[in-house]
């Protein structure tokens, strides 16, 4: 017999109503059709059987996806039928599509509308329009507000199984086979008993001591004390486990028994403390959660292998982990003993997070996207603040599936149905068209009615106010949106977009001539709009775009910046670039100042970080009265040593044309009080010096542009030596010298390479450059080129290696160097798994008032990430993005031309780039 009301009047009315309705009321179990993995039902055959035995008719919509077979429902008395319009109550698990709703019916399902969730507001509107009565399982609660009808336990069970499977994969990626490899995903088991057996089998191997010793004791932390956490703990208990108190976690994580795993259950009082006095008061916390902070990041997380999170986050309450916390937790662990190559230690203690709450942006701040049953795991890289679908690479393994119980659908259905069944009859014995006030519902059921008779019920009228408030806020946000126009979509654009879009109030428009790159960016990042255009050729369209934005970031070649700057001046829009402040840009200084805008240049790596590191040192030296007597700075973007396997010892993670043109620029520098001038045309390649500050890298350096012009802006007119240069691997300059001899680095217009003329092959172009007529045999051309190279065998080998004597067509371009740049971009890219590196060395000579001399060395070495951003992209992109954000936020408010030479600019940027993995070191040598 179903439950009866406890109060007398209700009980009598309910019984009478039941007698009157017994042969009339029809219940329908609708087909789940929102998600391919949704195989659950709200009621199992045993519940259908009880209902049919009581005289109710039960319709079941056919579904081959449902885990419980139709024949079991038929055997229980259910009728398999597509048309469910005769039902007075239609039950499901998830929301139905709007077009499948039937007017004036009773519906029960998880609607996900009680927080005015934007995605489900169209559904709620349709429910109201069709005068449907909606019962929401989520709001079926007891007197204490605890949910009565939920799948919670099975979310915990499935989540625990999944993360044990994920740990097996993650350990393997880190070099360790573990017993967890024999545990599959939860949906691979027919039922939880099979899963428990698999976990026990893994546990047996652990108890035999088969876990690799170098991974250390494993610790699992469970947050929350509800059904979700209990379900996870129940599955965890199939392992040889010992539960300890949170304060004992530190000790067992270091010296625990490797033949077992350790668990701890975390409650509020274990990690929440009042900011003022470090105490926890549960009553005060309920009233003023904003006065509290969590010590989870410092007291628990450093000793946690795997976090199983089952708590939801409410606004103004402390989070468990922030992005900054993750960065600290992912710092490499110092080795306590000699490491054997085949038995590596773990890179850090915290390996995995199973966020069963699936509460995006919640208690785990950096969990911004749910994973899926199809793709259950991802890696969160805190240094780059990016998520990639893998179990490899650096970071924390994340699992945050939002429909976990669907992986164990039969048991989840029976469990859920047992809790729902006592309330089915009273929902069934009413027509959706009847007024709500005439229904004799229990408190549990009445409080779960979200909408009825075309209106929100009194308890839920706040939803409309929430909607209006959110819409108003969105409107204000639109008014307060900061709109950024990014010109260019190449290597550097990724970090710029990633950094700026961390602020949801920043909208980015990316304009580029490269359609494929635009498509990749729009797929990867939110809050961006793409515009496919040739920025140089469509000035009117560029002007129109600039006008609609608050800030322009130009990642175009430096030659395009004056055009962009003029559009910014005309429209009074600020501009940030990473390139040199060229003479053409300097000519616009007065116009920029008259427009009252900020134009920031030299905000990348070199120029950019080199300025900032220099000025930080120089300013500190001046504070103690020291005088700068020398300044040298060398910087280079290079392939990592293991990737430098070509005649040029170089690969491209930056503008190929800019790299090539750099070798034919003139250069000027100061050495021991004398100015040295190197003419344009490639002579800098004859001024190469070995660089042995990192002997293992086998570097060489050559001067770069006019170094003397920095004496005044740096405020180091006292320096007798002032040199800025470019770093390359030894052999680069010699190879590039060969290209200069052949005329391949010429920026002059070359009409024969125009896209409107018949294409040339490299063989044909080379014949023209060395002055021999076509047709010609390969060996004849090779000999002519060899002579042009002054019989330099290594230079000839580089020409041949690049295919410059063959029949491959020359890419269309305005100049020969433009064509060579496009060719090299194809021939010398970074391959899969290859990485680049940045090396910078500043040497600053100081003379102190006491007379003693000091040499300051500032080193910056950054490696690219195999599956993330290149070192060059990070080192140029992040400073540029940080400067742009500072302009948007008003931190940089100086008007006119700005380069990062003042502390209010370089100070915050140097601090913030370190959070992005761009870390420098300093040391000194003092001579008395």
Q: Measured over all CA atoms, what is the biggest interatomic distance in the chain, rounded to whole angstroms?
A: 111
In order, the DSSP letters of 829-856 are: ---TT--EEEEEEEEEEEE-TTS-EEEE
Handedness of CA 611, 616, 619, 620 (dihedral sign): negative
Question: How far apart, in whole angstroms, are the C-alpha atoms of residue 652 and residue 871?
Answer: 11
Question: How far apart, in whole angstroms, are the C-alpha atoms of residue 179 and residue 162?
Answer: 14
In sequence order, what are the beta bridge partners of 855?
845, 925
In sequence order, what are the beta bridge partners of 923?
857
Question: How far apart, in whole angstroms, are the C-alpha atoms of residue 716 and residue 739?
Answer: 37
Q: Which 3 state secondary structure label does DSSP give 213?
A: helix
Q: Which 3 state secondary structure label does DSSP give 323?
A: helix
Question: How far apart, in whole angstroms, are the C-alpha atoms of residue 200 and residue 206?
Answer: 10
| SS3 per-residue string spanning 723-744 | EEEEEEECCHHHHHHHHHHCCC
Nearest to 356 by CA among 120, 138, 119, 154: 154
Question: How far apart, in whole angstroms, are the C-alpha atoms of residue 449 and residue 458?
Answer: 10
Question: How far apart, in whole angstroms, are the C-alpha atoms of residue 30 and residue 39?
Answer: 12
Question: How far apart, in whole angstroms, are the C-alpha atoms of residue 190 and residue 876?
Answer: 52
Q: Which 3 state secondary structure label does DSSP give 223?
A: strand
Q: Which residues contact 532 (CB under 8 A, 6 or more apart)?
A: 511, 512, 513, 515, 518
**Dihedral (Cα; 583, 588, 590, 592), 10-degree rounding:** -130
Contact 910, 616 (CB under 8 A): yes
Question: How far apart, in whole angstroms, are the C-alpha atoms of residue 17 and residue 10?
Answer: 10
In sequence order, what are the beta bridge partners of 861?
839
Pairing of strands 89-91, 26-29: parallel
Residues classed as catalytic: 606
Contact 131, 114 (CB under 8 A): no
Contact 157, 403 (CB under 8 A): no
Q: Which residues contact 208 (CB under 8 A, 6 or more apart)?
A: 259
Question: How far apart, in whole angstroms, are the C-alpha atoms of residue 312 and residue 305?
Answer: 21
Going through 564-713 in order, the beta strands assigned E by DSSP cover 574-577, 598-600, 627-639, 667-671, 674-678, 689-691, 699-703, 705-706
247 C-beta neighbours (distance < 10 Å), count = 11
Question: How far apart, in whole angstroms, are the C-alpha atoms of residue 707 and residue 398?
Answer: 49
The continuous run of DSSP H or E covering 165 comes out as helix 152-173
Question: How far apart, in whole angstroms, are the C-alpha atoms of residue 112 and residue 450?
Answer: 11
Q: How far is CA 227 from CA 833, 885, 908, in A?
A: 43, 44, 46
Q: Which 3 state secondary structure label does DSSP give 575?
A: strand
Question: How far apart, in whole angstroms, are the C-alpha atoms of residue 493 and residue 864?
Answer: 15
275 C-beta neighbours (distance < 10 Å), count = 10
Contact 282, 316 (CB under 8 A): no
Question: How far apart, in whole angstroms, are the C-alpha atoms of residue 892 and residue 860?
Answer: 25
Query: 448: buried, middle or exposed (CB in 10 Å: 19+, 13-18, 0-12)?
Result: buried
Question: How far apart, in whole angstroms, are the C-alpha atoms of residue 765 and residue 746?
Answer: 13
């Amino acid at each position: 017999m179903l439950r009866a009301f406890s109060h007398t009047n209700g009980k009598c009315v309910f019984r009478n109503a039941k007698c009157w309705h017994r042969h009339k009321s029809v219940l329908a179990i609708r087909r789940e059709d929102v998600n391919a993995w949704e195989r659950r039902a709200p009621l199992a055959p045993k519940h259908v059987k009880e209902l049919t035995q009581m005289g109710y008719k039960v319709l079941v919509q056919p579904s081959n996806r449902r885990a419980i077979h139709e024949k079991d429902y038929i055997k229980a008395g259910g009728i398999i039928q597509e048309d469910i319009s005769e039902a007075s109550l239609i039950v499901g698990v998830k929301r139905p599509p709007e077009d499948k709703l039937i007017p004036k019916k009773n519906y029960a399902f998880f609607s996900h509308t009680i927080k005015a969730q934007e995605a489900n507001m169209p559904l709620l509107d349709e429910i109201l329009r069709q005068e449907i009565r909606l019962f929401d399982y989520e709001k079926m609660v007891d007197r204490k507000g605890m949910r009565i009808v939920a799948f919670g336990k099975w979310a915990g069970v499935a989540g625990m199984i999944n993360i044990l499977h994920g740990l097996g994969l993650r350990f393997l990626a880190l070099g360790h086979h573990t017993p967890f490899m024999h545990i599959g995903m939860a949906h691979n088991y027919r039922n939880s008993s099979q899963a428990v057996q698999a976990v026990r089998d893994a546990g047996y191997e652990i108890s035999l001591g088969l876990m690799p010793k170098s991974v250390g004791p494993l610790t699992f932390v469970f947050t929350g004390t509800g059904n979700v956490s209990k379900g996870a703990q129940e599955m965890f208990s199939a392992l040889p486990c010992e539960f300890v108190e949170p304060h004992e976690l530190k000790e067992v994580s270091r010296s625990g028994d490797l033949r077992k795993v350790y668990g701890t259950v975390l409650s509020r009082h274990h990690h929440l403390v009042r900011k003022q006095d470090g105490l926890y008061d549960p009553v005060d916390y309920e009233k003023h959660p904003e006065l509290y902070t969590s010590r989870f990041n410092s007291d628990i997380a450093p000793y946690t292998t795997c976090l199983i999170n089952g708590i939801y986050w409410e606004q103004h309450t402390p989070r468990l982990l922030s992005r900054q916390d993750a960065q600290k937790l992912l710092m490499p662990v110092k080795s306590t003993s000699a490491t054997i190559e085949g038995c590596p230690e773990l890179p850090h203690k915290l390996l995995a997070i199973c966020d069963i709450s699936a509460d995006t942006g919640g208690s785990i701040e950096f969990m911004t996207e749910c994973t899926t049953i199809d793709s259950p795991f991802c890696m969160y890289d805190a240094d780059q603040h990016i998520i990639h679908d893998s179990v490899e690479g650096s970071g924390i393994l994340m699992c945050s599936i939002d429909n976990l119980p669907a992986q164990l659908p039969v048991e989840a259905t029976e469990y859920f149905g047992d809790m729902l069944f006592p309330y089915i009859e009273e929902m069934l014995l009413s027509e959706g068209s009847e007024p709500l006030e005439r229904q004799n519902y229990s408190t549990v059921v009445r409080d779960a009615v979200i909408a009825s008779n075309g209106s929100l019920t009194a308890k839920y009228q706040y939803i409309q106010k929430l909607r209006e408030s959110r819409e108003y806020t969105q409107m204000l946000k639109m008014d307060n949106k900061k709109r950024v126009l990014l010109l260019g979509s190449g290597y550097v654009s990724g970090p710029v977009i990633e950094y700026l879009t961390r602020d949801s109030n920043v909208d980015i428009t990316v304009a580029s001539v490269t359609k494929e790159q635009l498509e990749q960016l729009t797929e990867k990042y939110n809050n961006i709009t793409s515009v496919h255009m040739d920025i140089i050729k469509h000035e009117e369209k560029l002007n129109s775009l600039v006008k609609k934005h608050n800030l322009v970031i130009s990642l175009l070649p430096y030659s395009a910046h004056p055009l962009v700057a003029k559009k910014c001046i005309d429209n009074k829009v600020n501009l940030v670039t990473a390139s040199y402040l060229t003479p053409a840009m300097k000519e616009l200084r007065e116009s920029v100042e008259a427009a009252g805008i900020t134009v920031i240049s030299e905000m990348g790596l070199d120029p950019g970080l080199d300025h900032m590191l220099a000025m930080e040192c120089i300013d500190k030296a001046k504070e103690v009265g020291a005088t700068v007597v020398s300044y040298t700075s060398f910087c280079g973007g290079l392939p990592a040593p293991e990737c430098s396997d070509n005649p040029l010892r170089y690969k491209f993670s930056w503008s190929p044309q800019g790299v090539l043109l750099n070798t034919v620029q003139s250069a000027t520098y100061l050495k021991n009080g004398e100015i040295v001038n190197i003419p344009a045309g490639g002579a800098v390649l004859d001024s190469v010096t070995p660089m042995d500050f990192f002997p293992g890298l086998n570097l060489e350096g050559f001067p770069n542009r006019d170094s003397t012009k920095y004496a005044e802006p740096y405020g180091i007119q006292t320096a007798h030596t002032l040199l800025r240069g470019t770093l390359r691997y030894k052999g680069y300059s010699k190879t590039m010298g060969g290209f200069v001899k052949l005329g391949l680095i010429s920026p002059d217009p070359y009409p024969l390479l125009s896209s409107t003329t018949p294409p040339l092959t490299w063989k044909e172009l080379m014949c023209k450059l060395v002055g021999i007529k076509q047709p010609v045999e390969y060996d004849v051309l090779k000999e002519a080129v060899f002579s042009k190279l002054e019989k330099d065998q290594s230079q000839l080998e580089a020409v041949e290696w690049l295919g410059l004597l063959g029949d491959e067509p020359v890419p269309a371009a305005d100049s020969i160097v433009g064509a060579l740049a496009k060719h090299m971009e194809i021939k010398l890219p970074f391959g899969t798994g290859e990485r680049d590196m940045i090396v910078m060395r500043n040497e600053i000579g100081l003379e102190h008032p006491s007379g003693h001399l000091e040499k300051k060395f500032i080193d910056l070495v950054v490696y690219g990430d195999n599956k993330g951003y290149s070192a060059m992209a990070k080192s140029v992109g992040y400073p540029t993005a940080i400067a742009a954000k500072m302009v948007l936020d008003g931190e940089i408010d100086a008007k006119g031309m700005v380069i990062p030479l003042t502390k209010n600019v370089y100070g915050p940027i140097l601090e913030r780039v370190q959070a992005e993995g761009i870390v420098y070191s300093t040391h000194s040598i003092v001579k008395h």
